[in-house]
Structure 1
């Protein structure tokens, strides 16, 4: 059976698509799923740092080179987790338009069926997001935060997804969001999509703010579900497990 990727994206930068992608990938691996995590954010890569990888390893940008094979780019990134980085800094000056990005992603796609789960950080720009929609994705994790510009960006992205991929399951994820604010943000987004788009956004999951993960670094402790250090980390671990359960259960993904 073909493995279709889950795309993790946002309508505004800085809301945590990379954090969410890394947390979901690690949890999937710990649950026994062979997991490929792909840094599809070719304009601003950084996913490798969450897995303790230094800059400099060739990544997807290098697939524009003749003779470069996708499997040469894979890095062991944890228990049952493999990373395909975007590639920096030696390829940071390579400019890829949407067609070029789509071509690179198609080459990376040849590896997806080797894994049980594929998570792709698609970033927050249309230049980065639109080519990923050609990968026959299983669905979208739409990341947002409880602030106005993030919500406006998420709403705009929902409009794009409705036009470009109307049948794609969308799982909203409220990142860095305390539980007492989650319901209000959820209600606002549902109200906007029903009123202006004639569609109802799915129920959102929320992940509390984790200062130790902000910005991503080689020292970031990802093993939340198995080495809880405080109440917030415990809550975050439970949230990540719940979200992963939605992604691996087709009947619940869009509910």
Structure 2
């Protein structure tokens, strides 16, 4: 019997909005596809889902149609640029906590089946520390925390790390500096964050690198496409490729959750517990 290949599940999160988190998710997915991976991007911003807008997609169905049983996962997935598979978001997390046992089994089975077609799932969470963001982040194997050079970004990133560490025992975070002038500034932000966490928390922060400020990134947003495809020679596109190489090199930390259905089981468990 052929064993299903392990699936990597990455959450892309931020303490505050406006730091370019969804752009990171999209371009990371495209660049991982370029490296030979099969990537799905789940838009988990349950209030302001915007992956489809950023990519110029017009999905007919979304996650809520899967949770209600109206559509299969295969039916709601939209083919994005560069071979990226997109699971459109909806205000579906509360519904997830209300699923019957039979519905839970159906959702888990749906993700299990798609798990045979992909080896990376990127979960683009909402910004902040709401219950839904925390639940999605906890269910993933790795948390990519996007920060930028703004005081509110850094303080909110620390609050995010503190909550997940002290209340839920999350120990490891991957830090990505976005919209910075250069690599030196990105490393300075990481160092600043480490000084605070080393003093007050028992966590391990890993530096993933920096995405530079880039006019081509703005142009790609206006054109509703990934900068890594529209302007592949730009500085930001090159930085996203470096990020993808670092992401694929991260060790598989949890063998049990190497199958995609474990991610969904965790989501249902955490959502149901939060609803009690």
Which band: TM-score by shorter chain?
0.7 to 0.9
Give the conservation status (yes or no) of the 8 Å contact 1:208–1:236. Answer: yes
Residue 15 of structure 1 pairs with residue 19 of structure 2 = yes
Deviation at 1:106, TM superposition (A): 5.2
Report the Cα distance in structure 1 between the residues aligned to 2:153 and 2:210, rounded to whole angstroms. 14
In 1, distance between residues paired with 2:82 and 2:210? 25
Does the aligned pair in 1 maintain the 2:231–2:237 contact within 8 Å? Answer: no
Return the match for 1:99 from 94, 97, 102.
97
Q: 1:38 matched to which residue of 2?
A: 42
Contact 1:224/1:236, CA 8 A, preserved across alignment: yes
Alignment TM-score, normalising by the size of structure 2: 0.75
Change (3 A) 1:252 1:109: closer
Runs of 5+ unmatched residues, structure 2: 254-276
Q: Distance in 1 between matches of 2:173 and 2:52?
A: 25
> Do structure 1's residue 140 and structure 2's residue 138 form an aligned pair?
no
Aligned counterpart in structure 1 of residue 52 of structure 2, from 43, 48, 52: 48
**Relative to 1, partners in 2 of residues 1:118 and 1:218: Cα closer, same or farther, differing over 3 Å?**
farther
Instruction: Give deviations 1:18-68, integer Å, cap 9, x for gaps.
Output: 1100010111122221111110111110011222203x5211122232342
Tell whether 2:88 aligns with 1:85. yes
Query: Within 1, Cα distance between the matches of 2:131 and 2:110?
Result: 18
Alignment check: 8 A CA contact 2:217 2:236 kept: no
Structure 2 residue 253 is matched with structure 1 residue 250? no
Q: For 2:71, what is the secondary structure of its paired residue?
A: coil
Please list every run of 5 or more consecutive structure 1 residues that lacks an aligned counterpart in the other structure: none
Q: 1:49-198 maps to which residues of 2 (within 5 A)?
A: 49-54=53-58, 57-87=60-90, 96=94, 99=97, 109-110=111-112, 111-125=114-128, 126-133=130-137, 135=139, 137-163=140-166, 164-167=168-171, 169-179=172-182, 180-198=184-202
How far apart, in 2, do the equivalents of 1:47 and 1:71 lie? 18
Aligned residue-pair number? 240
RMSD: 3.0
The separation in 2 between residues aligned to 1:105 and 1:122, in whole angstroms, is 19
TM score, norm. by length of structure 1 = 0.81
| Deviation beyond 3 Å, 4+ runs, structure 1 | 103-110, 210-218, 225-229
Pick the structure with more helix per residue. Answer: 2
